[in-house]
Each structure stands twice: as structure tokens, then as C-alpha cells.
Structure 1
Amino acid sequence: MLNPLIDRIFDLILTQKVWQVHILAAELINCGAIKPLDKNPERDLFKRNFLIMNALYQLQEQLHPKSLLISTLHIELIETDIESPATVKSNLKDYYLDWGNYEASEEQINELLTSFWQKFKRVNSAPALAEDHYDALLAKWQLTNDFSLKELQKRWRQLALAHHPDKPTGCENAFKQIKVEYEQLKPAARS
């Protein structure tokens, strides 16, 4: 189903380089493009954000999978020279393009909001990382979403030893890269 917000959102993202979902939502409410969707405030928030994210992902597919960067805290239309990019896959994209998720239960909405605020806390305290990049780092480092500083430090020592340039199998570039990744992950670790 084609989302009726696509054109309005496209018009808005052409006016400003970077957006955030809550600012986009406020703008859509102010111009009357979105009316209240539910009497329950949490369900109303969920449905509003679902419609916006659904429209963004549909717009991304229409433009170019790589020409519209989408995360909750960073939405940006970028120029790209890629003529036929590979399709970008993500769990969030799959979730928001499935209209069956629009009618989530109150329990599901509470779980999603709790998860969002946990990620928001992590991302807000960490250097700006795209959500997909952050998830990829967690997978690469073999860490769970709720990793501790102690777990991160242990994994850092393991990777540093394995890639240290003084080791016969070491690599200076790989060592430098994991150091950068360690610094990106450190603020998100729980104490």
C-alpha cells in the first residue's frame, strides 16, 4: 500500500539537510498532514512514527536505496553516483514496510518504546553512529545489546592481541580500525 505521507515528507526533506523523526513528526502535525490516530497516547505515538518510518522506507526504495539515509536520529537525502546499488536490507526497514505491524498490541508497543529508549540512551551517549552500523559493530565484536564496560574491555584485549602489528598475523590497519571501533562502543557500555 502506498503511504499518503510520502510526497509531503519528500517535500520537507528537500527543505533541510538533516531531519530527526520527532522533528519531522512535529512538522507533519503542524501542517495538518497527520491527525491524532489513537486515544491512547502511546499507541498514537507508535502509529504516527510507524506511518512516518513506513513512508521514509517507501521513499528510499523509490529514490535509491542508498540516497536516503534513515535512522531515528538522522534522516538525510544524499547525492550518490551509484547507478544500480544493491538493495539495503535491515530489520527496521522490514518491520516498517510490513503493514501488519501497524496494529501492534499495547504490550508490543511498550516493548518497542523500552527498546527505543535504551538504544536512544546508548546512541546519545556514543559518538554519532548509524543504527545499522552500531548493530554491525555489536555483531563483529560478538557483544549483546546490553554489554558492560568489562565485557567490552575483555573483547578489546582479545582483538588487540590478535591484530597487533607486532604479531606475525597482525595487521596495522586492522589494529587501528578496532581501536576506532572500541572508542565508538565505549560510551554505550553500561558501567
Structure 2
Amino acid sequence: MLNPLIDQIFDLILTKQVWQVHILASELINNGAIKTLDKNPERDLFKRNFLIMNALYQLQIQIHPQTLLISTLHIELLQKGNDQPLITKTNLRDYYLDWKNYDTSTEDVDALLNSFWGQFKRQSAISTLTQKNYNELTIEWELPNNFTLKELQKRWRQHALKNHPDKPGGCEVKFKKIKEEYEQLKKATR
């Protein structure tokens, strides 16, 4: 199925090299290309974003995958001569290219939005830590990828018991350091 927004989005990304989905949505609404798609505000937001992402992925296929970088918060039309292979999340692309997902239930939309905002908050917290420090801490703390707050709390308690200044072999400096690391990692789980 051909997305009705492809031409409008293509025209917009030609005018500016870098976009974000919500800015594209605002432009499309202001141009009259997108109207209200659902009475439920969350489903309306989902359907609008679905159409935009679907159009972007169709464009990516049409113009060449190495030319259009697409992520949730960053869309960029790359200049010619960029030989860097793009890492594309095929499961995300496949999801948005499957028109059956356009008519998602309200419950599924709520779950998707909650998941998105959870990942967004985690990424914001990680960016303050720096990705390198975050990766080093998760390895040092022996945490799995996408660890939960419960997993982090368990590791914190183990480290705290081992390093508490009142315990034999404990160290106040080490204890303060792991307390700081715990607080930083905790922000990444919110």
C-alpha cells in the first residue's frame, strides 16, 4: 500500500537535512496533510506516527537505504559520498511497513507508548552518564542488558553489604563510590 504522506515528507526532508518525528508531524499538520485520525488521543498520536514512520521507511527503500537514516528521534538525509553502512533496526522497519499494525488496539498503543517513554527516559539518563561509562558500569556491576530496577537493587545490596564501612574489609571511599554509581544506574532504569 502506498502511503499518502510519502511525497510531502520527501519534499520536507529535502528542505532540511535533519528532522525529528514530532517536528515532521507538526509540519504535516500545519500543511493540512494530516488530520485527526482517531477520536482517542493516544491512538491518534500512534496512527500519525505510524504513517510518518511508514512513509520514511518506504522512502528509505526507494531512495537507497544508505541515504536516509531513520531512528525514533532522529531522521537524517545523508549527503552523497557517505560510505558508512547504516545500522537499521529491521524489526522496527518491518513493524512500520506492516499495514496490519496501523489499526492497533488502545491497550497495545498504551503498552507501546509506555515502552517508548521508558526507553526514552533510560536513554536520557544514559546520555548524562555517557554511553561508555554506562557500559563499563553494567559490566562491572554484572548487570544484564536492559536490566530492571529489581535486578539493580539486588546487585546494589550485594555491593553495599560487601563494602559497607562497618563490615570487616569494608571501605568508606569504595562504599560512597558504589552508592554514586547505584544512583546513576537507577536513573537509567526509570
Letter in 1 for 2:188: A
C-alpha deviation, 1:73, in angstroms: 1.0
Residue in 2 that maps onto 1:44:
44
Q: CA deviation at 1:43?
A: 0.7
Q: Which has the larger radius of gyration?
A: 2
Q: Where does residue 143 of structure 1 map in the other structure?
A: 144
2:122 maps to which residue?
A: 122
- The equivalent of 2:6 in structure 1 is 6
Task: Report how many residues are paired.
Answer: 152
CA shift for structure 1 position 36: 0.4
Displacement of 1:79 in angstroms is: 2.0
* Residue 190 (str. 1) matches residue 168 (str. 2): no
Q: How does 1:8-157 map to 2 (within 5 A)?
A: 8-81=8-81, 88-127=88-127, 143-147=144-148, 150=152
Q: Aligned-pair distance for 1:101?
A: 0.3
Contact 2:123 2:188 in 1 (8 A): no
TM, length-normalised to structure 1: 0.67
Residues 146 and 189, structure 1, Cα contact 8 Å, conserved in 2 = no
* Cα displacement string for residues 56-107 of structure 1 (whole angstroms, at most 9, x for unaligned residues): 0000111111211111111100024378x79945211010000000010111
- Look up the SS of the partner of 2:127 in the other structure: coil
Would the alpha carbon gap of residues 73 and 87 (structure 1) be closer, same or farther in structure 2, given more than 3 Å must change?
Answer: closer
C-alpha distance 108-81 of structure 1, shift in aligned 2 (>3 A): same
3-state SS in 2 of match to 1:79: coil
Q: Alpha-carbon deviation of 1:47?
A: 0.4
Q: By percentage of residues, which structure has more helix?
A: 2
**Contact 2:29 2:35 (C-alpha < 8 Å) held by counterparts:** yes
**Does structure 2 retain, via aligned residues, the 8 Å contact 1:122–1:187?**
no
1:66–1:88 CA contact under 8 A, matched in 2: no
Question: What is the root-mean-square deviation of aligned Cα atoms in Å?
Answer: 3.3
Unpaired stretches in structure 2, ≥5 consecutive residues:
157-183
Cα distance between partner residues in 2 of 1:58 and 1:87: 17
8 Å Cα contact 1:20-1:73 kept in structure 2: yes
Q: Which SS does the other structure have where 1:65 is aligned? A: coil
Amino acid at match of 1:58: Q
Which structure 1 residue ranges, 5 or more long, are not aligned?
155-184
Pairwise CA distance, 1:45: 0.5
TM-score by length of 2: 0.67
User: Structure 1's 93 and 38: CA in aligned 2 closer, same or farther, altered over 3 A?
Assistant: same
Residues in 2 aligned to 1:120 and 1:99: alpha-carbon distance in whole angstroms: 25
Amino acid at match of 2:144: L
Residues 110/86 of structure 1: CA separation in 2 closer, same or farther (3 Å cut): closer
1:114 and 1:55 map into 2 onto residues whose CA distance is 23
Aligned identity (percent) is 61
